[in-house]
Structure 1
Amino acid sequence: MILKGKKTLVYGLGKSGIAAGALLEKAGSEVYLYDGNTQLDKEKLCQEIGGPCQVMLGDFPREIMKEIDLVVLSPGVPTDLPEIVEMKTANIDIIGEIELAYLCSKGEVLAITGTNGKTTTTALLGEIIKAYNENSFVVGNIGTPYTLVAEKTDENSTVVAEVSSFQLETIRTFHPRVSAILNITPDHLDRHHTMAAYIAAKVRITENQTEGDYCILNYEDEVTRKLGETLWAQVIYFSSKSVLAEGVYLKDQKIVLRYEDTEEVVCDLDDLQLLGVHNYENVMAAVAMALVYKVPLTIIRKVLGEFAGVAHRIEFVTEKNGIAYYNDSKGTNPDAAIKAVAAMVRPIVLIAGGYNKDADYREWIGSFNGKVKKMVLLGETKEDIARTAMSLGFHDYVLVDSFEEAVRTATELAGSGDAVLLSPACASWGMFKNFEERGDVFKKLVKTE
């Protein structure tokens, strides 16, 4: 795609939108910026872009549609907004920021999606690939926008990318050499509306792959297991429950590889610093991706032993008065929160609740199995969660009005030998900018009280 001279609108001015605008400016586009937030500083936005641009804030100026050639959507922008639908009807070219980055970058891409585990798997695979190829970049939802590093890549680069369903909605040519879909469970239904639409968005990670590429899939996830029968790419499964004829699996407290007629132990689970079966699945996915990318097992083993996990994902914070505090702020949906509860080895006082994504909390509460002794609920979902808990016979909950009160109450309810676990099963929006801020506030409160 030729970007030079094109009048390009960046819709949504978060971190990835700003990076997209800067990339477009360097590529010679005439850049227009739009965001509904009227509090943004127009002059500062142009400075961040690094060149002249027209900034529009507040209500969307529909007259601009007569001027623009291309629209780059930030991931948080729903594709069914009225003005986006109008643009499609008017045959205006619309892509997402990850597609823009791919068009402007070189080298090969290893891409990871899934409802849960993306960040841990991406971080781990990123460390493995860095140890194998110094000319590598770790990008996406994990913190660094792909558009921010696209110009730094060359033919020998490897990009490890965490990609969301929001980003995959707007790809066209995005083509990973190796892809992975870790799992698919209900999430973001407020955005995608149906599970079928959500699954279709996730599966798009594979749509440009060919027979020379690889896709790594979870054998124990019904959706991804069936998907493996339909792809052009070569499929490698990982499994936490089954011994596979080919793939990566758990056996006798070890991660085992069976590939190209050989079976070899990758590592003992005791060698890992990560907790829980879900994290063993993340490790197996990263191992499978690295192996098909021809990374030597010696490098993989070394990184596995050193990797301590990522912030906000069942992150040990501290222990005070015999109470262990864990930050799982990235547990933004019930399935992720189920995994956090399962990973705990102490009785739990659970802090939960937040922004409503139209989730169903029954399976999550049903998974407590006596491990959760008390639940502290806050946010706009607290009443919904409380009603669901009551209907399932779980009555040990407290409703609070603020995050500070939640942490204080959880500490009061916990005793020596217990764990206070922040695993909200809900998004952070409305109370915090993102799950990182929520987790950082939790850690600060825990350490200062």
Structure 2
Amino acid sequence: MKSVNTYQGKQVLILGLAKSGLAAAQLVKQLGAKVVVNDQKPYEENVAAQELEKTGIEVVCGHHPLELLDKADVIVKNPGIPYSNVLLQEALKRNIPILTEVELAYEISEAPFIGITGSNGKTTTTTLIYKMLEEDQKQPLIAGNIGTVACEVAQKATKDNVIVTELSSFQLMGIEKFRPKISLLLNLFDAHLDYHGTKEEYIKAKANLFNNQTSEDFAVINADDELVMKASADVKATKVPFSVTAQTTEGAYIKNETIFFKDEEVMSLKDVVLPGKHNQENILAAVSVVKLYGCSNEAIYRVLTTFAGVKHRVQYVTTINKRKFYNDSKATNMLATKVALSAFSQPTILLAGGLDRGNEFDDLKEEFKNVKAVITFGETAPKIERVAKEAGIQIVKRVDNVKQAVSEAYACSDEEDVILLSPACASWDQFKTFEERGDIFIESVHKLK
């Protein structure tokens, strides 16, 4: 890793632990900072804080005292902590820089970054890019939301590597210098409005990905998404658009059931095993990125003829008595659920609900044509029920949790039905993560056997 003196002798406040806070605290201490960690979880229950304290790091748990700001030169915050937090509001008034650990990762990394963001499809696309580069022996490392914390990965990266990084709007709000060699903005949709306040602020956070790029860098953008095109209007990087609907000869597109990059034929679309038309967008985005990085068509072909998808993203689970079960727990907003529903022409039983972020679910109606039943749970159950009933769905039932939803869905299903968990909501009202929600769904499905 690079030797940097940015934090030497500085007072760094780490706000929030979890994986990113823990990694950030350890890194800035190594870089010579005086570190204080502040976490809401009580000290007696906070194993990570106790371990850090043993290394000489000061920990303050259970509350966020404003006095911590008196000596803070910089704050590195957990991405999930909103800027409405009282301590952060006061820090902003005092002009104390507030970063996320991705910024630390960039500062110390010898390797260039590929930064991937968007409202939906990030994990699938990040995985595709990583696998294609790996297949072509480009020595990629994977980081961010999808894998290991970025500042951990950056410590072991060399100039021969490239760090493929999935980035959330939360992370992108906390960058100052972060500059990916290749940036990718997949799509934009109303999401995380409880965190950002407005759609405009959410889009602004996503567009931070482009802020520090120059004409020597590349910005891969979705030409089919008006909001993406608007958000990238003033980008200084070389724009590389991709499109499912048009022949964008500056990037990736589909022509005669064949994937092209610029004027080069890459492979036949019929050989791709990743299911669903919605994944064509992810594929074209990935192809654009890896071709810019010099990836061979042979490596792309080998990945796209074998990669069938990632866990929790329209993941086939099993078939029981001719009912097919799919886990799409990563669908934490309406667009993701609409995309999942559009992948099926069979009668579908939808399991949905979760954290209430203040939005309604009327946009789901247009994809309810094949939905025969809706089973709801969580804080948003009443809102989803209203939309389902207005759409004319006859079977609408509310249960307490995902386990009950699986049993209820099976009870009202028939042979050849699809039973789909695609919540359209974040999981935090009942679960720690969407992965936990998906794993409980899978476990409950297998118990039906």
State whether TM-score is above 0.5.
yes
1:14 equivalent in alignment to 2:13: no
Q: CA deviation at 1:442?
A: 0.6
Letter of the 2:404 counterpart: E
Amino acid at match of 2:405: A
Aligned pairs for 1:14-33 (under 5 A) are: 14-33=18-37
Deviation of 1:325 after TM superposition, in Å, equals: 0.5
Letter in 2 for 1:186: D
* 2:331 match: 331
For residues 275-302 of structure 1, the C-alpha deviation after alignment (integer angstroms, 9 at most, x for no partner) is 1122111011010001111222222222
2:24 touches 2:104 (CA, 8 Å); kept in 1? Answer: yes
| Deviating more after overlay: 118-127 vs 28-37 | 28-37
Residue 305 of structure 2: SS of its match in structure 1?
Answer: helix
Report SS of the residue matched to 2:201.
Answer: helix
Worse overlay, 54-63 or 206-215: 54-63
Rounded to whole Å, the distance in 2 between the matches of 1:111 and 1:72 is 20
Cα distance in 2 for partners of 1:48, 1:89 equals 29
User: Which residue of the partner structure matches residue 299 of structure 1?
Assistant: 299
Quote the residue 2:163 is aligned against: 159
Question: Which residue of structure 2 lines up, in the alignment, with residue 429 of structure 1?
Answer: 428
CA–CA separation in structure 1 for the residues paired with 2:270 and 2:313? 19
CA spacing shift, 1:383–1:42, aligned 2, 3 Å: closer
Is 2:367 the counterpart of 1:367? yes
Residue in structure 2 matched with residue 413 of structure 1 by the alignment: 412
Tell me which residue corresponds to 1:270: 270
**Aligned pair partner of 1:88 in 92, 106, 123:** 92
CA distance in structure 2 between the aligned counterparts of 1:148 and 1:277, rounded to whole angstroms = 35
Task: Please identify, of 418-427 and 90-99, the stretch whose mean Cα deviation from structure 2 is larger.
Answer: 90-99
- Structure 1: give runs of 5+ residues left out of the alignment: none
Note the 1:38-437 alignment, pairs <5 A: 38=42, 41-42=45-46, 44-47=48-51, 51-133=55-137, 135-257=139-261, 259=262, 262-264=263-265, 266-369=266-369, 371-437=370-436
Q: How many residue pairs get matched? A: 444
Letter in 2 for 1:91: N
- Structure 1 residues 245 and 155, CA, compared in 2 at 3 Å: closer, same or farther? closer
> What one-letter code is carried by the residue in structure 2 that aligns with 1:203?
A
- 1: CA distance, partners of 2:234 / 2:392: 42
Q: Distance in 2 between matches of 1:442 and 1:290?
A: 34
The CA distance in 1 between the partners of 2:76 and 2:317, in whole Å, is: 39
SS of structure 1 residue aligned to 2:368: coil
For residues 160 and 440 of structure 1, what CA distance do their matches in structure 2 show? Answer: 26
The offset of 1:245, in angstroms, is: 3.4
Shift of 1:98: 0.9
CA RMSD of aligned residues (A): 1.7
- Distance of aligned partners of 1:426 and 1:44 in 2 relative to their CA distance in 1, 3 Å threshold: closer
Residue identity in the other structure for 2:322: G
Moved more, 6-15 or 198-207: 6-15
Counterpart Cα distance in 2 of 1:218 and 1:349 = 31
Residue 367 of structure 1: SS of its match in structure 2?
A: helix
In structure 2, the CA distance between the partners of 1:354 and 1:4, relative to structure 1 (3 Å rule), is: same
Contact 2:130 2:164 in 1 (8 A): yes
Normalised by the length of structure 2, the TM-score is: 0.95
* Residue 383 of structure 1: how far off its partner (Å): 0.5
**For 1:306, what is the secondary structure of its paired residue?**
coil
> What is the deviation of 1:44?
4.2
- In the TM superposition, residue 37 of structure 1 has moved relative to its aligned partner by 1.7
For structure 2, the 5+ residue unaligned runs are none
SS in 1 for 2:354: coil
Query: Cα 1:246–1:440, aligned 2, differ >3 Å: closer, same or farther?
Result: same
CA–CA separation in structure 1 for the residues paired with 2:432 and 2:419? 23
2:241 match: secondary structure:
strand
Take 1:156 and 1:143, find their aligned partners in 2: how far apart are those partners?
20
Structure 1 counterpart of 2:33, one-letter code = S
Q: Determine if contact 2:222/2:243 at 8 Å carries over to the other structure.
A: yes
Deviates more, 1:424-433 or 1:125-134: 125-134
* Percent identical residues: 38
